[in-house]
Amino acid sequence: MDKHVDGRDKPGHDDSNREKTMPEITVSMAEGRTDEQKAGMMRDITQALVKNLGVDADAVVIQINEAPLRHKMKGGKTFVERAAAAKK
């Protein structure tokens, strides 16, 4: 039986390519969080990738894509509509 069945023996799955395999994370969310909240989240995500993937923090790229509340919908109502309904 072949002991390498999960692809870890393929290029990019060893320590020699670790610096070349930059993890890039995109977070999509509704607007409204502070810059401090977003920076804290990005730091935590970076540390999770360092811990779990074994990459250097300098290799991690994180981008936040924010949508206005009127451009994001859940349950058939925009987030603006949901907020208005919650106030009633």
Residues designated as active site = 23
Give how far Cα 35 sits from Cα of 9, 58, 76, Å. Answer: 41, 20, 29
Question: Structure tokens of 87?
Answer: 């106030």
| Rounded CA separation 45/42 (Å) | 5
